[in-house]
Chain A
Amino acid sequence: MTPAVSVTDVWKFFGDYPALKSVNLDAPAGACLALIGRNGAGKTTLLRTIAGFSRPGKGTISIFGSGPRNAETRRYMGYIGHGISVYDELSAFENLTLYAKLYNLPNPGKSALDWLERTGLSRVKDGLVREFSRGMRQRLAVARAFLHEPKVLLLDEPFTALDDRAIAVLQTVLREALAAGKTIVMSTHQLREALELATHVALLNRGSVAFHGPCTPEMVSDPGWVYARYGEG
């Protein structure tokens, strides 16, 4: 069976510096792969390469058998990066309808309203994003990423700096996504939140994969275990 996300012998160089060194990873369909590692280990670079924002220097990436820059692949891929990826000058509704139109959804207005409702933002749908609180902006970012019902979700430190309500919203939509058979690849420093969801774990260390395998009960009960066993200590 074709894995949902497959990374084969991927190298990425910034100048002469190898940010990723022969990375091999697979995420089966319906899995939640947690990418962990210290700062600078290459988690964000790997996620951006999987998302197609950056070309690998060597090696191949495939999402359900196709390259990440393929338009069809992008249609079923969702990405949350460090930024919220919504426009401050537009209202919440305008932002979501913009993305709904770009993803060619059949009824952009309805999709936008549904997600504003799910993320508790329907009351402020016509408010400009620049007037939103941080938590509201983060919930809008979640709505933006999930709006087109992606089959593969790439999340770069999704729990970082979220308020309690945004964490609850994100955890709910992630659990629903996993229950619906969607695939999640997320980089994170918040081991406890991530390992509660993860089915697989990959530990990156200086651009290389130090460990890749299923999430075990030892990891869930002691989130530092994988670092102690496979990391640099």
Chain B
Amino acid sequence: MAFVRQVFVIMAKDLRAELRTKEAINASLSFGVVVLLLFSFAFDPDEETVKAISGGLLWIVFAFAGTLLLNRSFARELNNDCLDALISAPIPGAALFLGKALANFLLVLAVELIALPLFGIFYNVHWTKQFWPLMLVIVLTTWGMTVTGTIFSALTVNIRLREVMLPILNFPILIPALLGAMQLTSILVSGKPITEDNESWLKMLIGFDVMYTAVSLALVEVVLVS
């Protein structure tokens, strides 16, 4: 019970701090909207092409926009050496990690849920035919992205080029999850359901989330204490 409370204390602190300044969420959202807008001008695709590329387009935007948020996760703790105080507090590294990961998850998800209708408007696509399956894919992929991003954010927090290092480390690990998400998103945006043929991508996303959550929880203490 104490563990769950500690997780929520950390999550609430991160959300409150971010929503007071809105530094990272504004940057992430602006980036996402600008990239979606630029692509719509650059290619002017027809409806069928949009449906075919929607998965790739959306997840590239979500991944890069999410990185802007994830970069701030542990970097925020460097101001005034707050990370020292968190590490010296009697909370397990796993609680600290999960609290931060949940806050990041909600922030990245918020950006995605704002960007998605804009994608529909910019590209003139009716993307809501398979709304709930699409939400499931977005939630699963965003959690995977957040978990790996948060642990790498902790790992790179003391590196001078952390803004560059985070995507360099995170994206190769994310390839399987992004592949699955891109495939499934293209299918769902086209209005087709998830069938037995592509169900394995969904299972892979669940496996990815479970595996990287477990690995991150096991490693976070080693990552935080040098």
Q: Taking chain A's interface residues, is the majority helix, strand, or loop, or is none over half, making it mixed? A: loop
- Give the total of B residues in contact with A, Cβ under 8 Å: 25
B79 surroundings in chain A (CB, below 8 A):
83, 87-88
The verdict on B6 contacting chain A, using a C-beta distance below 8 Å, is yes
Contact assessment for A102 and B9 in the assembled complex, using a CB-CB cutoff below 8 Å: yes
The verdict on B46 contacting chain A, using a C-beta distance below 8 Å, is no
CB distance from A160 to the nearest CB of B (A): 14
A71-115 near B? 1/0 per residue, CB < 8 Å? 110110101011111111110001000110111100000000000
- Among candidates B2, B20, B88, residue contacting A74 with C-beta atoms closer than 8 Å: B88
The answer to whether residues A94 and B88 also contact, given A53-B225, A101-B9 and a CB cut-off of 8 A, is: no
Contact assessment for B85 and A85 in the assembled complex, using a CB-CB cutoff below 8 Å: yes
Interface members, chain B 59-96 (any A CB < 8 Å) = 79-82, 84-92
| In the bound complex, CA of A206 to CA of B198 (Å) | 63
Give A83's nearest chain B residue, CB to CB: B81
Q: How large is the interface on A (under 10, 10 to 19, 20 to 34, 35 or more residues)?
A: 20 to 34
The verdict on B192 contacting chain A, using a C-beta distance below 8 Å, is no
Interface members, chain B 158-212 (any A CB < 8 Å) = none
Contact assessment for B90 and A89 in the assembled complex, using a CB-CB cutoff below 8 Å: no
A88 surroundings in chain B (CB, below 8 A):
79-80
Interface members, chain B 1-40 (any A CB < 8 Å) = 2, 5-6, 9, 13, 16-17, 20-21
CB distance from A51 to the nearest CB of B (A): 6
The answer to whether residues A85 and B84 also contact, given A54-B226, A102-B9, A103-B90 and a CB cut-off of 8 A, is: yes
A103 surroundings in chain B (CB, below 8 A):
89-90
Contact assessment for A79 and B88 in the assembled complex, using a CB-CB cutoff below 8 Å: yes
CB distance from A114 to the nearest CB of B (A): 19
A98 surroundings in chain B (CB, below 8 A):
9, 13
Contact assessment for B88 and A83 in the assembled complex, using a CB-CB cutoff below 8 Å: no
Q: Which of B17, B80, B85, B87 is packed against the most chain A CB atoms within 10 Å?
A: B85
Contact assessment for A87 and B17 in the assembled complex, using a CB-CB cutoff below 8 Å: yes
| In the bound complex, CA of A193 to CA of B86 (Å) | 29
Chain A interface residues (CB < 8 Å from chain B): 51-55, 69, 71-72, 74-75, 77, 79, 81-90, 94, 98-99, 101-104, 128, 144
Q: Would you give 12 A-B contacts (Cβ < 8 Å), ordered by A? A: A51-B88, A52-B88, A69-B225, A71-B90, A72-B90, A74-B90, A82-B81, A85-B82, A88-B79, A89-B21, A94-B16, A104-B90
